[in-house]
Amino acid sequence: MLIKNRPSWFLNENESTPEAIYKQRREIVKKLGLAAAVTPFATQANAGLFDVFSPAKDETPYQDPRIALKGIDSKYSTQGLSLTPEDKVLTYNNFYEFGTSKGQPAELAKGFKTDPWTITIDGEVAKAVTLDMDDVMKSMQIEERIYRHRCVEAWSMNVPWLGFSLASLLKLVQPTSKAKYVAFETLYDPERIPGQSSYSVGGGIDYPYVEGLTIAEAMNPLTLMTVGLYGKTLAPQNGAPLRLIVPWKYGFKGIKSIVKIHLLEEQPPTTWNKLGPNEYGFYANVNPNVDHPRWSQASERFIGEGSIFSSRRQDTLMFNGYGEEVASLYKGLDLKRNY
């Protein structure tokens, strides 16, 4: 008899999110007379404010430009799950470059072309490279991984991603001993990406969007360079053609539409840390014991089947449930001070 030991990140069938809620944000703030995301007014009740008003049905359904993409099962796959409905993942997005309400990215990213696309990897490496996305797809082993996704806004999902380990990509460039951090940068092209040229659409962010990890975090097997979800290539609003998924961190660490990766000796700046340093730290590990200044992080609204109004609340897990694999990375580090 074959007995399978389930790892700590295993999701039971009743824990998986249905596919129809991944949509709408900042215009609700204006309608309610609240200030931008970094103002001190909001409370825990506002943590999910931007997504509660998503319409049950779009007047103009999203036109899916994706193509089928198959990945092999990995040890991070789970079988038999009732997954988050795909339409929610496609229409419930935080991607400020294409609008600050959850529904805007799916509409404003229509027609966004991601072919051709190149990724430059340089800095503290032996072999700096610029790779065509086709080369990346051919040279990397694509896997399917079902991960929990936890937003700093205190809502969560479970999503079947397709991608490859960031470590496998970084090994191509041979990081030097000076490489202590890995910085990421989103495409900057205001003509193609409306939010990068308009405060009202782009949320007042200093673009291009940038993010970063320690080299140890980047090389952890869980860290995924993502090229698809639900058996297809990524849609523009989900970060096509290449985004980062770090499942034990809050979702804003998952930078989208990546064009540059720099390996550095010094800690790099990150977009949300620059915008609100008292609210968004560099590490951004999911931690139910460290509240956001404006709401509790002890629990989350799990988005599943049915209306977002009926979504159940559940306790937030330390490291989003991945502590067995990543807690050792932070041994001796004060996680309340280094949030």
Going by the annotation, the residues of the binding site for Mo-molybdopterin are 93, 96-97, 151, 186, 238, 243, 254-256
For 178, what's the count of Cα atoms within 13 Å in the CB-facing half-sphere? 10
152 within 8 A of 284, measured Cβ to Cβ:
yes
Strand, coil or helix: 297? coil
Structure tokens at 296: 């509790």
Three-state secondary structure along 195-252?
HHCCHHHHCCCCCCCEEEEEHHHHHCCCCEEEEEECCEECCHHHCCCCEEECCCECHH
160 within 8 A of 230, measured Cβ to Cβ:
yes
Beta pairing, strands 299-302 & 312-315: antiparallel
Binding residues: 93, 96-97, 151, 186, 238, 243, 254-256
Taking the C-alpha atoms of residue 252 and residue 4, their distance in angstroms, rounded to an integer, is 33
Encode burial over 140-172: b for 16+ CB neighbours within 10 A, e otherwise. Answer: bebbbbbbbbbbbbbbbbbbbbbbbbbbebbee
Strand, coil or helix: 316? coil
Taking the C-alpha atoms of residue 299 and residue 316, their distance in angstroms, rounded to an integer, is 5
Encode burial over 280-314: b for 16+ CB neighbours within 10 A, e otherwise. Answer: bbbbbbbbbebebebbebeebbbbbbeebeebeee
